[in-house]
Amino acid sequence: MKTRRLAPAKSARTVATKAKAKRKVLRGSYAIIGPATRSKILDAALKCVLKYGYQGTTTLLVQRMAGVSRGSFLNQFPTKADLMVALSESIIKERSQAYIDTYRGVTDYRRRFELMMDIMWDQFKRPGGLVRLEITVAAISDPELKKRFEPQNAAMDEELREQTWLAAIQIGISDRTALDHVVTQSMASLRGLAIDLLYPRPGCDTEAAFVLIKKTHMEAVDRLVKAGRAKRSA
Amino acid sequence: MGAGADVPDLTKGHVRMPAKRVAKRKSEAAAPAVRGPHAERTAAMRKRLIEAGIECLTEFGYGATTLQVVTDKAGASRGAILHHFPNKVDLMIAIAEYAAGKQNRHVARLLADTEPGMDRFLKLTMATWEAMQQPAAIALLELMVASRSDEELGARFPAVIEALENQQREDVWEVAQTVGITDRAEVETMSWLHTAAMRGLVIELMFSKDRRKASAAMALLRRYKGWITGEMVTKSF
């Protein structure tokens, strides 16, 4: 759509009016219109945060990039925090889908631990991953955003740990606490490394660092397997 | 925070005063000897503003840290802050330089009584971890992310952070050589990864406030370091 480019206020309004005129003909039921506007806005929000960062993103800017009216925008997202939480939620959904798609048919559960690292890293490199990282850092110092972002983040974290544990049982790991620490450590490493992606600079070989993270992650997993085996035979 | 303690006699008068104008008049009325030479007072004010800026960054984030907010936090006058920092980015760059120096000094202080060699090489990680949890390091993280969306900051900030990281790399390499590591690229990748891991943990810590979880993860990182170091040292022989 042409409206993607950041348009001055006047033409944005014209576009919105035009869109409204068109909608009169096409207009379906509210249940159809609502979600379409919503995904249009979320698309625009993703692009906006990616391009201008969290601080540079305003609801007005997103509204114009999405080419929707102020009214329908505010109907969906009354505040910037609402928008950002919804954006983060949609990114998480996409990520869970990536796990499901990749794990499907993989019965070698040790291999799943490798895949987990690949998926996580791949997700961080995608626009969605970088945007979620921006939102994460913003939530640290924005109480309103934090209050709502935190439970969502905790739920995602819990889900990941649960999935990991289910795979861990299959390969004979018995120490869940130790496994949790490995997951915490690996996730933190990837998240921290992803900040280097947001902010690339010379002398920083993120891919080499990723290979090392993955290697130590697998080494830790193998040790847990061995410990589990020793415990069982004891 | 203990940072203000370095210059107590210079700032004491200001800190105690509720209103800045009263504070100024009173300190003028006080014996001139207490005020100290002009250069010193200027440096003290600059430092006070920077420290206040760091507090604001960790508390409110980059976006909400305006010159006005920092001025209020420091209990300084508008004139004073504008004299030192004509705009927000000037202050932010000064903060970055100050924070980078502080972080390096913090690590150096923690390592001071450790003998060079393997002990020191392994302890480097924990020392950096301690330094990275300080407000100064968190302010640096805020600035790093903000520099992506703020054009002027984005133009000036990289030089500061790169200088800090180059210094860290040099330090790591210097210690690494003493334990017999010869592959510089490899040790740099490892050290890069550690910085990243700690950055990730700091972010996590700011949400969960779960220190136990974070220290368990750090213990793991230390073990990982042991493995990789072992490999690197054996490879060198």
Dist CA A183 CA A179 (whole Å): 6
Q: CB contact, 8 Å: A30 with chain B?
A: no
Please tell me the predicted confidence (pLDDT) of residue B34.
Answer: 62
DSSP states of B46-104 as a string?
HHHHHHHHHHHHHHHHHHH--HHHHHHHHT--HHHHHHH-SSHHHHHHHHHHHHHHHHH
Mean of all residue pLDDT scores within chain A: 85
Does the distance separating the beta carbons of B162 and A201 come in below 8 Å?
yes
Does the distance separating the beta carbons of B201 and A192 come in below 8 Å?
yes
Please tell me the predicted confidence (pLDDT) of residue A113.
Answer: 93
- Chain B residues in contact with A153 by the CB 8 A cut-off are 207
DSSP annotation of A3 reads: G
A217 in Cβ contact with B221 (< 8 Å): no
Q: How confident is the model at residue A142 (pLDDT cuts 50, 70, 90)?
A: confident
Q: CB contact, 8 Å: A223 with chain B?
A: no
Cβ-nearest to B196 among A140, A196, A202 = A196
Please tell me the predicted confidence (pLDDT) of residue B18.
Answer: 45
Mean pLDDT of B159-173: 88
Does the distance separating the beta carbons of B145 and A53 come in below 8 Å?
yes
Q: At which residue do the structure tokens 């406030």 appear?
A: B209
Cβ-nearest to A55 among B62, B195, B203 = B62
- Chain B residues in contact with A201 by the CB 8 A cut-off are 158, 161-162, 165
Mean pLDDT of B1-27: 44
- CB pairs A-B closer than 8 Å: 142
Taking phi first (over 0 means left), then psi (-120 to 50 degrees means alpha), and beta for anything else, what does residue A205 get?
beta
Q: How many CB atoms lie within 10 A of CB B85?
A: 22
A179 in Cβ contact with A121 (< 8 Å): no
Which of A189, A199, A207, A217 to mutate: most B Cβ within 10 Å? A189
Question: Which tens digits make up the pLDDT trace of A28-87?
Answer: 555 566 778 899 999 999 999 998 888 889 999 999 999 999 999 999 999 999 999 999
Q: Three-state secondary structure along B93-105?
A: HHHHHHHHHHHHH
Mean pLDDT of A183-208: 85
Q: How far is CA B2 from CA B7, B27, B98, in A?
A: 10, 23, 15
Does the distance separating the beta carbons of A193 and B200 come in below 8 Å?
yes
Please tell me the predicted confidence (pLDDT) of residue A17.
Answer: 55
Helix (H, G, I), strand (E, B) or coil at A128: helix
Q: At which residue do the structure tokens 């069982």 appear?
A: A232
Task: Give the angle subtended at the CA of A204 by the CAs of A193 and A96, to the nearest 5°.
Answer: 25
Dist CA B174 CA B121 (whole Å): 9
- Chain B residues in contact with A134 by the CB 8 A cut-off are 145, 148
Q: Which token pair is A195?
A: 């900040």
More confident residue, A4 or B204: B204
Question: Which tens digits make up the pLDDT trace of B34-54?
Answer: 667 888 888 999 999 999 999
Q: How many CB atoms lie within 10 A of CB B134?
A: 19
Task: Give the angle subtended at the CA of A47 by the CAs of A41 and A48, to the nearest 5°.
Answer: 85
Please tell me the predicted confidence (pLDDT) of residue B11.
Answer: 42
Q: How confident is the model at residue B148 (pLDDT cuts 50, 70, 90)?
A: confident
Q: How confident is the model at residue B1 (pLDDT cuts 50, 70, 90)?
A: very low
Which of A199, A210, A214, A218 to mutate: most B Cβ within 10 Å? A199
Task: Give the angle subtended at the CA of B19 by the CAs of B15 and B23, to the nearest 5°.
Answer: 60
Q: ipTM value of the model? A: 0.76
DSSP annotation of A172 reads: T
Q: How many CB atoms lie within 10 A of CB A62?
A: 25
Q: At which residue do the structure tokens 């000036």 appear?
A: B156
pLDDT at A20 exceeding the cut of 70? no
Please tell me the predicted confidence (pLDDT) of residue B33.
Answer: 52
Q: CB contact, 8 Å: A192 with chain B?
A: yes
Question: Which tens digits make up the pLDDT trace of B78-135?
Answer: 999 999 999 999 999 999 999 999 998 999 999 988 888 888 888 888 899 999 999 9
Dist CA A36 CA A41 (whole Å): 9
Q: How confident is the model at residue A110 (pLDDT cuts 50, 70, 90)?
A: very high
The fraction of chain B above a pLDDT of 90, given in percent, is 34
Q: CB contact, 8 Å: A185 with chain B?
A: yes
- Chain A residues in contact with B149 by the CB 8 A cut-off are 52-57
Cβ-nearest to B200 among A134, A191, A201 = A191
More confident residue, A25 or B10: A25
Dist CA A155 CA A153 (whole Å): 5
Please tell me the predicted confidence (pLDDT) of residue B16.
Answer: 44
Does the distance separating the beta carbons of B207 and A150 come in below 8 Å?
yes
Please tell me the predicted confidence (pLDDT) of residue A81.
Answer: 95
Q: Which token pair is B90?
A: 């000037």
Does the distance separating the beta carbons of A204 and B192 come in below 8 Å?
yes
For residue A182, the distance in angstroms to the closest alpha carbon of chain B comes to 7
Q: How far is CA A191 from CA A36, A142, A188, A208, B147, in A?
A: 32, 19, 5, 15, 18
Please tell me the predicted confidence (pLDDT) of residue B17.
Answer: 43
Does the distance separating the beta carbons of A184 and B150 come in below 8 Å?
no
- Cα within 13 Å of Cα(B27), Cβ side: 20
Does the distance separating the beta carbons of A192 and B199 come in below 8 Å?
yes
| Closest by Cα among B209, B207, B124, B199 to A185 | B199
Mean of all residue pLDDT scores within chain B: 83
